């Protein structure tokens, strides 16, 4: 018996060590590398790179894109999750499947889809020209591409929660004369708030970091359509390694903040569920 337990002890130790080593090698070391490179010559060059006009503009654009994409996807995610779990309608299975498309499709293809629609060769181009609208190589294109790749996050988090809970609390509310709005705020939202917040956090993380789809529709106009990831890549390509890594530090810090937020949301959500649901 002792032998078996010892064996298990060894297996345990090896698996844990391997996991930690792998994470250290693949995640922590490269990230540490980014930081150490960024601060290689102290804080001054770092600060210069980060506060550079184009870097600030890229950061602003990234934030704007992420905020818009997250807002729209939150709205869409709640609406879709509500519809899927609360109503019976034709094409429900289809809707559930296509919400997942962004998970399956390469972001580059997402970008190309928009280029083929709104770009010079796209069918909507004449119309856009006529009304003096610009989507591709402009901010709307970036937002569209970001929405596309982050579309499933919010819906995916809420659907299981709503589905598991059934509809009778909402029905009770409606029977007692509550309107749709009151029913949503007072009855539905308390149930999904943590799942929703979790979805929003994941969605933000992905939106901030999106590279592929955005790269296709951006056109890389420095100071105009460059988001942070694109800006970092350009700096790197132009051998501005230090600047590149300095700007990357911003994304790393954002990522760490998001991770912490995620952790907190998960914990608080679980605690609350234990308190209210027996």
Residues that bind other proteins (CB under 8 A): 168-169, 171-179, 182, 186-187, 190-191, 275-278
Helix, strand or coil, per DSSP, at residue 212: helix
The DSSP line for 138-164 is SHHHHHHHHHHHHTHHHHHHHHHHHHH
CB of 202 to other proteins, least distance (A): 23
CB of 85 to other proteins, least distance (A): 16
CA dihedral of 238, 242, 246, 251, whole degrees rounded to 10: 50
CB of 165 to other proteins, least distance (A): 9
Q: Cα separation of 126 and 130, whole Å?
A: 6
Task: Tokens for 47, please give them.
Answer: 């600060």
CB of 35 to other proteins, least distance (A): 42
CB of 20 to other proteins, least distance (A): 39
Q: Closest Cα to residue 208, out of 81, 79, 100, 65? A: 65
Q: Cα separation of 131 and 125, whole Å?
A: 10
Please identify, using beta-carbon distances, which residue of 173 and 202 lies nearer to other proteins.
173
Please identify, using beta-carbon distances, which residue of 94 and 181 lies nearer to other proteins.
181
Please identify, using beta-carbon distances, which residue of 188 and 249 lies nearer to other proteins.
188
Please identify, using beta-carbon distances, which residue of 160 and 190 lies nearer to other proteins.
190
Placement of tokens 């929660």 in the chain? 161
Please identify, using beta-carbon distances, which residue of 4 and 176 lies nearer to other proteins.
176
CB-CB contact of 254 with 266 (8 Å): no
Helix, strand or coil, per DSSP, at residue 118: helix
């Amino acid at each position: 018996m002792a032998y078996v337990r010892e064996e298990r002890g060894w297996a345990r130790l090896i698996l844990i060590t391997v996991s930690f080593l792998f994470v250290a090698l693949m995640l922590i070391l490269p990230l540490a590398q980014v930081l150490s490179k960024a601060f290689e010559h102290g804080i001054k060059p770092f600060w210069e790179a980060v506060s550079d006009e184009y870097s600030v503009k890229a950061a602003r654009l990234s934030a704007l894109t992420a905020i818009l994409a997250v807002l729209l996807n939150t709205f869409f995610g709640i609406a879709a999750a509500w519809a899927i779990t609360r109503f019976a309608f034709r094409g429900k299975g289809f809707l559930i499947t296509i919400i997942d498309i962004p998970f399956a499709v390469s972001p580059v293809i997402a970008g190309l889809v928009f280029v083929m629609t709104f770009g010079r060769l796209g069918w909507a181009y004449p119309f856009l020209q006529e009304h003096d609208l610009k989507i591709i190589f402009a901010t709307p294109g970036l937002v569209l591409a970001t929405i596309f790749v982050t579309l499933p996050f919010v819906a995916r988090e809420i659907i299981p929660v709503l589905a598991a809970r059934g509809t009778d609390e909402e029905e009770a509310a409606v029977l007692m004369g509550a309107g749709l709005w009151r029913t949503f705020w007072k009855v539905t939202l308390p149930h999904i708030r943590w799942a929703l917040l979790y979805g929003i956090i994941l969605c933000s993380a992905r939106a901030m970091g999106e590279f592929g789809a955005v790269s296709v529709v951006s056109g890389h106009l420095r100071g105009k359509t460059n988001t942070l990831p694109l800006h970092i890549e350009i700096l790197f390509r132009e051998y501005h390694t230090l600047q590149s890594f300095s700007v990357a530090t911003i994304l790393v810090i954002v990522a760490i903040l998001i991770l912490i937020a995620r952790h907190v949301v998960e914990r608080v959500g679980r605690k609350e569920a234990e308190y209210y649901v027996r």
